[in-house]
Amino acid sequence: MPQKKNPDIAELARGKSGRLIGNLTGLLATLKALPLAYNRDLQEDKEPVFDSCDQLEVLLPAFTGMMATLT
């Protein structure tokens, strides 16, 4: 059917957004009630930040391409 649009990119974006929200929630839990001085809890913030950046580097170009082809 030529009129049918395949929503794969939108569905994948929805799934990736859940992962990003999970990373944000984990970071906020790590930062909750942190003392004013540096402490070792902040060693745990790098993995979710870098994972979120990697996911956005994949997701944003795909989503931009999808938006460009909408009619």
Closest CA to 16 of 61, 56, 67: 56
Q: What are phi and psi of 68, to 5 degrees?
A: -70, -25
Rg (alpha carbons) of the chain, rounded to whole number: 17
Q: Are the beta carbons of 13 and 59 closer than 8 angstroms?
A: yes
Q: Which range of residues forms the domain containing residue 18?
A: 8-69
Q: Would 1 be classed as within a structural domain?
A: no
Decide if pLDDT at 1 tops 60.
no
Q: Is residue 53 part of a domain?
A: yes
pLDDT band at 2 (very low <50, low <70, confident <90, very high): low
Q: How confident is the model at residue 40 (pLDDT cuts 50, 70, 90)?
A: confident
Q: Does residue 42 lie within any of the structural domains?
A: yes
Q: Is residue 3 part of a domain?
A: no
User: Within a domain: residue 50?
Assistant: yes
Asked whether the CA dihedral 23, 55, 13, 15 is positive or negative, the reply is: negative
Q: How many domains does the chain fold into?
A: 1
Does residue 35 belong to any structural domain of this protein?
Answer: yes
How much is the mean pLDDT over the chain? 87
